[in-house]
Chain A
Amino acid sequence: MSLNKTVIHPVWLRANHWINLIAVVIMVLSGWRIYNASPIFAFSFPKQITLGGWLAGALLWHFAAMWLLFFNGLMYLFINIVSGRFKARFFPIRVRDLLNDLIAALKGKLAHDSLYEYNAVQKLAYLFVIVDLILLVLSGLVVWKPVQFPLLRELMGDYDNARIVHFFAMVALLAFAAIHVVMVALVPKTLIMMIRGR
């Protein structure tokens, strides 16, 4: 097997992954500070773990990192789809595989014998987070520019509702991240792979 074939994660994907992590961390921590300026629910995020120091600082970070998140995400979708990797890695997802893998995962018996292929649960989880990031961007666009994006605004159910959608999309992203990190901790080889590519 040539070296080239053993590379599971091409270099563009690895760069993309880590840039995305930086962007997401900045977006989430500054987003919490922005949330605190006018909380939607009866709680605030502890100041110590937010970014920006005050509302204006948090907004500066948020509206800077959004470009990183946006263009990095666009690049991911573009290379992934054009190269055919997207189709090859994520499809098909069979409901039966999904159920089997889910049961196996809950029993702690999910097979990781081949790191060359995603199991059905992984496929669904990664597709979920892609869709969730797109939802974060779209709901964020409505919160930022409700007048300029009337169609999106109506889809989100006006400005106030777009904030709620934006918030829960963030919660969903964190839920994914928590599971993702636990899975990586259980199978540390995957972390090495995302750094070295194989």
Chain B
Amino acid sequence: MKKSLDKSIIIQEALKELPSPARRLFLKRTLTLGGLSLLSGCTVTDEESAERMLMKISRFNDDVQAWLFDPNKLAPTYPESMITKPFPFNAYYGRDKIPEVDGADFLLEVSGLVADKHSWSLAELYRLPQTDQVTRLICVEGWSAIGKWGGVTFATFLKRIGADVSAKYVGFKCADNYYTSIDMPTALHAQTLLTFTYDGKTLPPEYGYPMKLRMPTKLGYKNPKHIVAIFVTNTYPGGYWEDKGYNWFGGS
């Protein structure tokens, strides 16, 4: 586990070096109408200013969504008969790249604005009060699927680690080098679960073993799988897709 974590940190570091060329690619792609420039004779500077404007509006949309988000409003739940079978596998890589995490010596790292920073074994996590729910997962691409996830209410976990719930963000690092972050009100929502099971069985690798944060109030890319570290912070942590231009709040 230690070894795989080191590897993940190295890749995380390497990814940090990526943003500028990746962003430039994003710029070029955003304004393009198919292969043609939207405005003829449009210079890169124009594209950059259009891109900046779009990103500003996306940040504004984060604020609007935070304002629209009602912590007491529950996402619809469904009968088990409506569960989508088979539940689709989805990641930024193919099935052959699904990370293999060894549960026996697994430790979940906890850091940032929390009172108790000890790392959690899976056995400890499984001893927390467990619940489950059947909800609809909506992908940013538009498709949706109904599934049943079980685990501990995330608010309960945050309380156990003595998290500063007045902090702005909760960030997640994953064994597949995915990373994302959410707002505190969503982290504390009654249906936000740190899940260890899918459809009553231990979460299989394709759905995010050893754990997935499941939020029916957010789009799929905000629901991280294979979580290895959780941190509470006031510094905007971004996310894998969010840094490429997807909306950060990503709420449903």
Contact = CB atoms under 8 A, between A and B. Distances in A.
Are A and B co-members of a single complex? yes
B59 to A, nearest CB: 11
Nearest to A64: B57
- By DSSP majority rule, is chain A's interface helix, strand, loop, or mixed? helix
Interface stretch (A117-125, A140-148, A178-186): A140-148
Interface in A32-49: 34-35, 37-38, 40, 46-49
Interface centre among A38, A57, A163 (most CB of B within 10 A): A57
A163 B142 contact: yes
Contacts, number: 100
Interface string B227-252: 00000000000000100111100011
Size class of the contact patch on chain B: 35 or more
Size class of the contact patch on chain A: 35 or more
A142 to B, nearest CB: 10
A54 B241 CA distance: 13
Interface stretch (B29-37, B117-125, B173-181): B29-37
21 contacts: A37-B140, A38-B139, A38-B143, A46-B34, A51-B38, A57-B31, A57-B245, A60-B30, A60-B55, A60-B247, A64-B53, A64-B57, A64-B58, A145-B68, A146-B138, A147-B74, A147-B252, A148-B252, A150-B73, A150-B76, A159-B138
Interface of A: 29, 34-35, 37-38, 40, 46-57, 59-61, 63-64, 67, 143, 145-148, 150, 153, 158-160, 163
Given A56-B245, A145-B251, 13 more contacts: A37-B141, A38-B142, A48-B34, A51-B33, A59-B140, A60-B30, A60-B247, A63-B58, A64-B57, A147-B76, A148-B73, A150-B76, A159-B144
